Structure 1
Amino acid sequence: MVKTLDERHAESERVLTKQAPCETEAEYRKAAETGSPEALFALAQALIDNSIEHQDPDEALLCIERIRNAEGYAEIPDEELAIVEHKAKKRQHELGEAQQLEYMHNQDA
């Protein structure tokens, strides 16, 4: 049986989403490059939950935005997106406060 290009592409998408969870930042990023909402969501979570070294709530929010603009984003419940978005915004606020305190401390020194 000869598969069309679209069929092979759809099959590769299914294979990508069935792979084991990513263990390194590079794996998360490579998976997210596919544009898959699931991969972007996994990267967004990793960017705020300390599962990878690089923590970046701004980038996590960009991933959430890309998910909402992607086709097939309905596969991820809005509740889950909202939870990660809330955590990212909270982390963003905490980092902003920490930077402000550090700036004030440096001004006093």
Structure 2
Amino acid sequence: MQSPEEYEVTLRIHTIIKELKAKRGYTKKKISELLGIGLTTLDDHLNGTSSFRLGTLIKFAQISRTRLGDILEGTKEFDQELKKDTQHEEEIEPIKQENP
């Protein structure tokens, strides 16, 4: 079963899959083949029985020409990582100023 955040990601992927079907004529079978997973596995992910693995999300971002951040944006884990990155940038900035 998916967490609420995983469900949000799944909803975004549903939307992107609809676009892939409409714009590129992809079928779910074709998408599952491009992802390197079975059609049943893709269906399990999309109906919430199981969660997407990071590697699958990365492949999905590539085939859909979507930024992974756009798929994950708003999830707790993504926001925490973004906050960490921002903190690191703030720590690095004074060092850059000291060494022009």
Fold shared by both chains (TM-score > 0.5): no
Q: TM-score, normalised by structure 1?
A: 0.36
Q: TM-score, normalised by structure 2?
A: 0.38
Higher relative contact order (CA 8 A, sep 6+): 2
